[in-house]
Amino acid sequence: MSGGTYSVFRVAYGVWLGVLLVGAALDAQVGSEGSVAASAAWFGALACLPFAAGLRDRVAALLIAPAAVIAGGPEGLILSFLTIAPLVVHVALPRAPYGSLDAYGRPDPAGDFAFPEGLSFIVRALLVGAYGAVAVRAFADPAGGTVAGPPAGFFPWAFVGAALAFFVLGISRRYRGAGWAVMAVALVVRLVLVDDALGGPLLFAHLLAFDPALIPPLRIEGGERVFYDGNCGLCHRSVRFALAEDRSGDAFRFAPLHGEAFERELDADAARGLPDSIVVVTPEGRVLVRSRAIFRMMDGLGGLWRGLAVLMRLIPRPIADAAYDGVAAVRHRVFRRPVDVCPIIPKRLRSRFDT
């Protein structure tokens, strides 16, 4: 899992857990005996803010976990192992992934973040155990919590089948993504059909095991050229994002618009009328601009970003391009103008830039 993908998970999980803790605090305030639980819940909810933002998030995670346990009580939802486990995993990960406030401004956008394979294996193994426990519970009470849908005896068997697919396919690196997808579908179905407290924790714990190999990047022989406005702070951030999330390390080459590399690639007639923000040129000479340029870059990154690009292409192109133009029109007022036309990056990444 890349740093940017993990940051998306961290934000979503932090917001969800914060909302959960606020609800627990409001419930605990009913009656004086809940004052300790309410205080712990409010404290944990506040700690979810820096956690979601990626600001001293390890410390925040260590504060949230005990607060959530106290707030949940002996029978509470928040005491659930699946709810707390992502916080424990977070503490074990390298700090400051791309997309966190702690990573803001550093020369290397990706840093040293990587989701260790050993930790990934532990997460998957614990999930298999958790899914087994959920299946046993479902067999013990097949109709428990089911609000609609198939016969009561069907869902436990379907859930067990999905859990077995997750386990068996997860043994192979090649098919691990397929197993993850099968289990994800089962969890979404369970979230809809079964009304109990485990739906959210199960789904978030499963998202933590997301394998970017499920959605491989678009591989183009020779890579693609990305030309960007060297005087645009947002364009610099877009380039840094691509550098951080490109797991292959060779999906794109970068150069500022209207520089020597740009003039070698496109003659004056081809360059006339192009937007002054982001332009992607494919090896076969296609020139992609506006929303299509952004979607193409997301395709080259694979994983979550390519999946989002597929969904965003459902937006009619005139609407997507209008949104792009709207952002482009205000980008210089919102984002600080960079000092240099090339982003500040370490030496190992400078070879990917042409002048």
Q: What is the pLDDT of residues 176-201, one digit of tens each?
A: 888 898 999 988 888 887 776 778 88
Average pLDDT of the residues in 152-173: 79
Confidence of residue 153 (pLDDT cuts 50, 70, 90): low
pLDDT at 351 over 80: yes
Q: What is the pTM of this model?
A: 0.86
Say what percent of the chain tops pLDDT 90.
29
The dihedral over CA atoms of 35, 38, 43, 47, expressed in degrees to the nearest 10, equals 170
Rg (CA), the chain: 23
Q: Which amino acid is at 208?
A: L
Confidence of residue 148 (pLDDT cuts 50, 70, 90): very low
Average pLDDT, the chain: 84
Output the pLDDT for position 121: 86
pLDDT at 149 over 50: no
Q: Is 267 exposed, middle or buried (0-12, 13-18, 19+ CB in 10 A)?
A: exposed
Average pLDDT of the residues in 202-224: 83
Confidence of residue 78 (pLDDT cuts 50, 70, 90): very low
102-144 pLDDT per residue, tens: 998 888 888 889 888 889 888 888 888 888 877 777 666 655 5
